[in-house]
Chains A and B, each alone.
Chain A
Amino acid sequence: MKIVALSGSKVGSKTRTAMNYTVQKMSDKYPDVEVTLLDLADYEIQFSDGRNYLEYEGDTGYVTKTLMEADAIIIGTPIFQASIPATLKNIFDLLPQNAFRDKVVSILVTAGSAKHYLIAEQQLKPILAYMKAQIVQTYVFIEEADFYRKEITNHDVLFRIERLVEDTIVLMETFTEIREKKEAEYDF
């Protein structure tokens, strides 16, 4: 099983800090799962120009192909101007319409204000649903006050991340099992 942890912005460190912890939890709890962390701050990604993702080269090709090969994706995103960052939206635009079919996608949000709580619900989830993701409904919302010098200091957040990791794996395994059973029934 392949899992990609996608850190969706080039700005700041909080999302990356939370994603580092998430990836570490994932590797500790599920050593058999192959986890890849993609931090968009580490890549030069071009804007979508409408071509098929297979035709992009360099960082853009690497990131899109790695995402397409994943069984599950954990998206970590900050909130900018009351929405998701353009860097993350560009990733969605680079991928095909049904890119998340048969993939589980879970969400972790970092934000400067609790007033941004529903942004993932109202702006990110509809995109994921449109792209056919199996969404882990409960997401982790982390505020500025939960961090101190690139560490998460709120134990409640740490517990919630642990549950997000478990939920991602549980949904992925369940969904894969059900799908395989259903596909076997077709007998072709």
Chain B
Amino acid sequence: MKKYGIDPSKGLEFGIYTLGDHLPNPLTGERISAEQRVHELIEYAKLADQAGLDFFSVGESHQDYFVTQAHSVVLSAIAQATNNIKIGSSSTIISTSDPVRVYEDFSTIDLISKGRAEIIAGRASRVGLFELLGYDLRDYEELFEEKFELLMKINEEEVVNWSGEYRASLRNARVIPRPQKGFIPIWRAVGGTPASAIKAGYAGAPMFMAHLGGPASVFKRTIDAYREAAKTRGFDPAELPVATAGFFYAAETSQQALKDMYPHINEGMKKTNGAGFPKQHFAQGIDPHNIMNVGSPQQIIEKILYQHELFGHQRYIAQIDFGGVPFERLMKNIEIIGNEILPAIKKYTKKAEA
């Protein structure tokens, strides 16, 4: 765990992630400018830092209704604007990028932030970028596996010798600058199914598991499959951190939370995925056994502690801003997390003996 900058004795880490979506607020029908959205994201990271949260990450999506295509550029601004919070990508689409350039970018972000950068590498759930960037969708899996391996290799070795199918060979190539501690935590983004979790386990990489809704117990199977797969390849699961990431919204009552959040999720998903979020499923989101962390602060604390008991994970990452949520609401949520949720979670998940 230490290798990845995680100290379990301090309790469950709490983070924020944004996909960098740029959607209209469904209640007003209006969309803020791209300039304003980018600045609000930086401001959002500053608030999370000030509230004592552990992690903040920004995603990469190359399609309409998104604004952080150049997510590493946004992250470098966040690196400059924050002091203590760890920062990362959620996720970097390594399949359609050059791992050398990605590593150069993130080790530079690591130097700007004085050792706070992390990479979460994903395969893309929205695949429009393959055409935009000149890749063949049929190579979806191989592109990811090959480039992820190269990224991991660059992280372990400063001088790289490598050859593969989708990039020119590297002979005694020095990839610099090196990050502050000589190593960046590199996670593998997983969409919640055991099949993709197993591959992360085989690679011996920390797993960043994104999820929508549903019973937490279903996702436990994914996490178990990941740890089991890691073990079969000789990795010690106790050394591999797991993060879960999904919808979060706190309000005075669970009913108010549902009311505040639903239109943003439903209308936003219609625009980005082509289908809304069924109300019936969303209503189940406040159940204590549902993995979606929507409700009153006390209900959310109980949910996260239940999930922690079930998963034994090291980090939870909340997505609050999807679908044009007004900035005051994000501020309010950060305030609730910082004042109520974070202290309770740390208190109950800290390991005294360590």
Interface residues of A, Cβ cutoff 8 Å to B: 49-55, 68, 96, 98-99, 101-102, 182-183, 186-188
Q: Is B128 at the interface (CB under 8 A from chain A)?
A: yes
Q: Is B164 at the interface (CB under 8 A from chain A)?
A: no
Nearest chain B CB to A175 CB, angstrom units? 13
- List, in ascending order, chain B residues with CB within 8 A of A49's CB: 137-138
User: With A and B bound together, what is the CA distance between A114 and B137 in angstroms?
Assistant: 43
Tell me the interface secondary structure of chain B in the complex.
helix
Q: Is the CB of A99 within 8 A of B259?
A: no
* Residues of B316-332 contacting chain A, CB below 8 A: none
User: With A and B bound together, what is the CA distance between A96 and B275 in angstroms?
Assistant: 8
- List, in ascending order, chain A residues with CB within 8 A of B275's CB: 68, 96, 98-99, 101
User: With A and B bound together, what is the CA distance between A18 and B115 in angstroms?
Assistant: 69
The residue that B255 contacts in the complex, of A53, A96, A187, with Cβ under 8 A, is A187
Q: Is B66 at the interface (CB under 8 A from chain A)?
A: no
- List, in ascending order, chain A residues with CB within 8 A of B278's CB: 101-102
Q: Is the CB of B279 within 8 A of A53?
A: no
Nearest chain B CB to A176 CB, angstrom units? 14
Q: Is the CB of B127 within 8 A of A183?
A: no
Q: How many inter-chain residue pairs (CB < 8 Å) link A and B?
A: 44
Q: Is the CB of A55 within 8 A of B128?
A: yes
Q: Is B258 at the interface (CB under 8 A from chain A)?
A: yes
The residue that B274 contacts in the complex, of A53, A187, A188, with Cβ under 8 A, is A53
- List, in ascending order, chain A residues with CB within 8 A of B3's CB: none
Q: Is the CB of A52 within 8 A of B274?
A: yes
User: With A and B bound together, what is the CA distance between A96 and B138 in angstroms?
Assistant: 19
User: With A and B bound together, what is the CA distance between A183 and B258 in angstroms?
Assistant: 13
Closest A residue to B138 using CB positions: A49
Closest B residue to A49 using CB positions: B137
Closest B residue to A98 using CB positions: B275
User: With A and B bound together, what is the CA distance between A54 and B258 in angstroms?
Assistant: 27
Closest B residue to A52 using CB positions: B274
Q: Is B233 at the interface (CB under 8 A from chain A)?
A: no
Q: Is the CB of A50 within 8 A of B137?
A: yes
Can you list 27 A-B contacts (CB < 8 A)? A49-B137, A50-B127, A50-B137, A51-B127, A51-B128, A51-B137, A52-B273, A53-B274, A54-B274, A55-B126, A55-B128, A68-B275, A96-B274, A96-B275, A98-B275, A99-B275, A182-B280, A183-B279, A186-B279, A186-B283, A187-B255, A187-B259, A188-B259, A188-B262, A188-B279, A188-B282, A188-B283
Nearest chain B CB to A67 CB, angstrom units? 11
Q: Is the CB of B258 within 8 A of A55?
A: no
Q: Is the CB of A188 within 8 A of B137?
A: no
* Residues of B56-71 contacting chain A, CB below 8 A: 63
CB-CB under 8 A for A52 and B126, given A96-B275, A183-B279, A186-B279: yes
User: With A and B bound together, what is the CA distance between A52 and B272 in angstroms?
Assistant: 10
Nearest chain A CB to B21 CB, angstrom units? 14
* Residues of B160-194 contacting chain A, CB below 8 A: none
User: With A and B bound together, what is the CA distance between A44 and B255 in angstroms?
Assistant: 48
User: With A and B bound together, what is the CA distance between A38 and B135 in angstroms?
Assistant: 32
User: With A and B bound together, what is the CA distance between A42 and B176 in angstroms?
Assistant: 57
User: With A and B bound together, what is the CA distance between A50 and B273 in angstroms?
Assistant: 13
Nearest chain B CB to A154 CB, angstrom units? 40
Give the 10 A-B CB pairs with smallest separation, nearest first. Answer: A188-B258, A188-B259, A54-B274, A183-B279, A186-B283, A51-B127, A188-B262, A55-B128, A186-B279, A96-B275
Closest B residue to A51 using CB positions: B127
Nearest chain B CB to A75 CB, angstrom units? 19
What 1/0 flags go to B275-290 for Cβ under 8 Å of A? 1001110110000000
User: With A and B bound together, what is the CA distance between A94 and B84 in angstroms?
Assistant: 46
- List, in ascending order, chain A residues with CB within 8 A of B137's CB: 49-51
Q: Is the CB of A52 within 8 A of B259?
A: no
- List, in ascending order, chain B residues with CB within 8 A of A68's CB: 274-275
User: With A and B bound together, what is the CA distance between A141 and B137 in angstroms?
Assistant: 40
